[in-house]
Every structure is written in structure tokens, then in C-alpha cells.
């Protein structure tokens, strides 16, 4: 018995040491490929020859987003896709503009924690935990004013809602060069191709007309 405990402990230790040398994934998946001619990227992007790098590779200008849309909000990401110099640096940001009563709808960043500062206006923000405590998804919520800062832990569903009378602006920093966004309603009801209504009818415990209605909606993507 003792030997088994030792082996289990040894294997656990070995795997934790091994994982410490692996980079965290920077995309949804990375199917291993033997032939590099068919490779697109390997956990990030290919690197530019340092001799060819210029200041512009580290620069990006961001204008206020257009909030004239169904959500009344616009996220302007500055990830490695917009700013190539961010590659391998583990950080990115987004500017979020809100019109009156604008909403950045419930979403998650699968690869990044987010820290947000309100530059202008008043936001109701919140995130929901995983089911770690007795299968309870706990909501943590707070009203933020100009200058207030709030953290949304990696992977958790969160939202920001402009409850003020004017516009609002926030800047979000993310702990990944490519944190990714899964907007819950868009992913569940607006996936391509659609998820079978049978699945969603059972999952949400509603009539299939409700699901058909939801799947027919145009799920605006504010990112
Ligand atoms: C990759 O190459 C190795 C060694 O030649 C081979 O054993 C393996 O089957 C290959 N894998 C794929 C997916 O082609
Ligand atoms: C903002 O978006 C709306 C709707 O697409 C469009 O009509 C309007 O011209 C845009 N405003 C600016 C300043 O681009
Ligand atoms: C979980 O439920 C048990 C039994 O009802 C209770 O004793 C315990 O305090 C709960 N734990 C949490 C973290 O809520």
C-alpha cells in the first residue's frame, strides 16, 4: 500500500513539475502536426526577424467605439491580433465604450483574467463563480464609478452594464496576449452551425418554440 501512495505522490509531483515547463494555451486548440509546411501557428504566432522589427510593431491607436447597435456597447480589443508586438508577452487590453444603458453582455475569457478601470460613467458589473460551493453559482456584483477598479477571474462569466445617464468608458487589461471571448448567448443560440433545438430544449427546460425563437435571433457581436 505504501508503495502505491508513494507512486501516486511521485506521479502527481512529476506531472506538476512537467506542466510548469509548458506554456499555457494561447488559442482554443492546437492539433499537433508533423509537417511544418501545413502549420499555421504554434501557441501564438511565428516571430518576425528581430532585424526587421520597427517601433510600429509595438504601436496601436484606439478610437472610441461606435455604440449605435442593439447592445449599446462596443469592445475595441488590442490583442496580439491587433498589436503584433504583444506576442509572447502574456498581456493585452480592450477599450469598452457604452452608450446610455449599454450592456457588455455575459461572456467569458477562456484564457485571461481581466482587471477593469472605469474612465467615465457608472457601471453595474458582476461575475458568477463555478459550482465550487455546493453546486452554487455565486454572483459577485458591484456598482463602479469613475476611477474604480474591479477584477474578473479567468474563465468566469461576467458582464458590465451602464446604469448611468450618459456614456461610459472602461479599459480592461487581460492576462493573455489573446484572452478570447465567449459571449454566452451568441455561443449557445447563435453558433455555426446551430446546436440542435432538441439539445437546447432539454438543457433550458423550455418549449421548443422558445428555442426556435432564440436561435432565429441575430446575436450581435460587440467585440
Ligand atoms: C508523426 O511522426 C511520427 C514519427 O515519424 C509518427 O510515428 C507519427 O505517427 C506521426 N504522426 C502523425 C499524426 O502523422
Ligand atoms: C455607427 O454605427 C451606425 C450603425 O451601423 C452607423 O449608422 C453610423 O454611421 C456609425 N457612426 C459612425 C460615427 O461611424
Ligand atoms: C455545503 O453544504 C453543507 C451541507 O448542507 C454545509 O454544511 C456546508 O457549510 C456547505 N458549504 C458551503 C461552502 O456552502
Rounded CA separation 132/138 (Å):
9
All three cell numbers of 171 = 479599459
- Cβ-contact 110, 176 below 8 angstroms: no
Domain ranges of the chain: 73-215
133 Cα nearest atom in ligand 3 = 13
| Residue closest by Cα to atom 3 of ligand 2 | 68
Question: Cα angle vertex 158, ends 86, 92, to 5°?
Answer: 5
Q: pTM of the full predicted structure? A: 0.81
Instruction: Give the contacts of 57 (CB within 8 A, at least 6 positions apart).
Output: 48, 84, 85
Which superfamily does 73-215 belong to? Jelly Rolls (2.60.120.10)
* Ligand 3 binding pocket includes 133 (Cβ within 6 Å): yes
pLDDT value at position 45? 75
Q: Which of the pair, 38 or 123, is modelled with greater confidence?
A: 123
Q: Answer yes or no: is the C-beta of 134 below 6 A from any ligand 3 atom.
A: yes
Nearest CA to ligand 2 atom 5: 68
The whole-number average pLDDT for the span 207-213 is 95
- The pLDDT tens digits for 5-59 are 544 454 454 444 444 566 777 777 766 666 666 666 656 677 788 888 899 999 9
Q: Would you say 99 and 73 are in contact if contact means Cβ atoms under 8 Å apart?
A: yes
Amino acid at each position: 500500500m505504501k508503495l502505491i501512495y508513494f507512486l501516486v505522490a511521485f506521479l502527481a509531483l512529476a506531472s506538476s513539475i512537467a506542466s510548469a515547463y509548458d506554456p499555457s494555451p494561447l488559442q482554443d486548440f492546437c492539433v499537433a502536426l508533423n509537417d511544418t509546411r501545413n502549420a499555421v501557428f504554434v501557441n501564438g504566432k511565428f516571430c518576425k526577424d528581430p532585424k526587421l522589427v520597427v517601433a510600429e510593431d509595438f504601436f496601436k491607436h484606439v478610437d472610441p467605439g461606435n455604440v449605435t447597435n442593439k447592445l449599446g456597447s462596443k469592445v475595441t480589443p488590442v490583442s496580439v491580433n491587433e498589436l503584433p508586438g504583444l506576442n509572447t508577452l502574456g498581456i493585452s487590453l480592450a477599450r469598452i465604450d457604452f452608450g446610455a444603458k449599454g450592456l457588455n453582455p455575459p461572456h467569458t475569457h477562456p484564457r485571461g483574467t481581466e482587471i477593469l478601470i472605469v474612465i467615465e460613467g457608472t457601471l453595474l458589473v458582476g461575475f458568477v463563480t463555478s459550482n465550487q460551493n455546493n453546486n452554487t453559482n455565486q454572483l459577485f456584483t458591484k456598482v463602479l464609478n469613475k476611477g474604480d477598479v474591479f477584477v474578473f477571474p479567468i474563465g468566469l462569466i461576467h458582464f458590465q452594464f451602464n446604469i448611468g445617464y450618459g456614456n461610459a468608458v472602461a479599459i480592461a487589461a487581460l492576462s493573455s496576449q489573446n484572452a478570447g471571448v465567449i459571449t454566452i448567448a451568441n455561443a449557445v443560440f447563435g453558433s455555426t452551425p446551430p446546436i440542435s433545438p432538441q439539445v437546447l430544449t432539454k438543457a433550458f427546460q423550455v418549449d421548443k418554440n422558445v428555442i426556435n425563437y432564440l436561435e432565429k435571433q441575430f446575436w450581435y457581436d460587440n467585440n
